[in-house]
A = this chain, B = another copy of it.
Amino acid sequence: MIGRLNHVAIAVPDLEAATIIYRETLGAKVSPPQDEPENGVTVVFVELDNTKIELLHPLGENSPIEGFLKKNASGGIHHVCYEVEDIIAARDRLKSKGARILGDGEPKIGAHKKPVLFLHPKDFSGTLVELEQV
């Protein structure tokens, strides 16, 4: 069912410092920061040859990564995102296997303007999993 790894999201307390680390220290191609008010984050995209890293920083109040950064002050890997062809079929398969979908169970439009769902970390070995329809 899952296809490509779309991205790995890393929550960072200092987006400028993280950008410099990825661009200067690791020598990767890094985008300018992009505000996503509807998702409560500012994102910097690190483009790798086969996938991307998304550096996330809280934007506005009640950002979904605020709590994570309180627990992980230096930052850390926040979630992985797998691509699926049909997000409704994927959701129904997951539910039939007993996995819990976060929120109201309906896909939202994510950072790439495509339908996404988040799955409960407790059902996936402690890992927050995002599914994105491509």
Task: List residues of chain A with CB under 8 Å of any chain B CB.
Answer: 1-5, 8, 10, 12-14, 17-18, 21, 24-28, 48-51, 53, 55, 72-77, 80, 82, 93-94, 97-99, 121-127, 129
Pick the residue among B17, B24, B126 that contacts A125 (CB under 8 A): B17
Minimum Cβ distance to chain B for residue A8 (Å): 6
Residues of B within 8 A of A3 (CB): 48-49
Copies in the complex: 2
Kindly state the separation between the CA atoms of A76 and B79 in the bound complex, as whole angstroms. Answer: 9
Q: Is the CB of B1 within 8 A of A27?
A: yes
- Report Cα–Cα, A97/B23, bound state, in Å: 12
B25 touches A97 (CB 8 A): yes
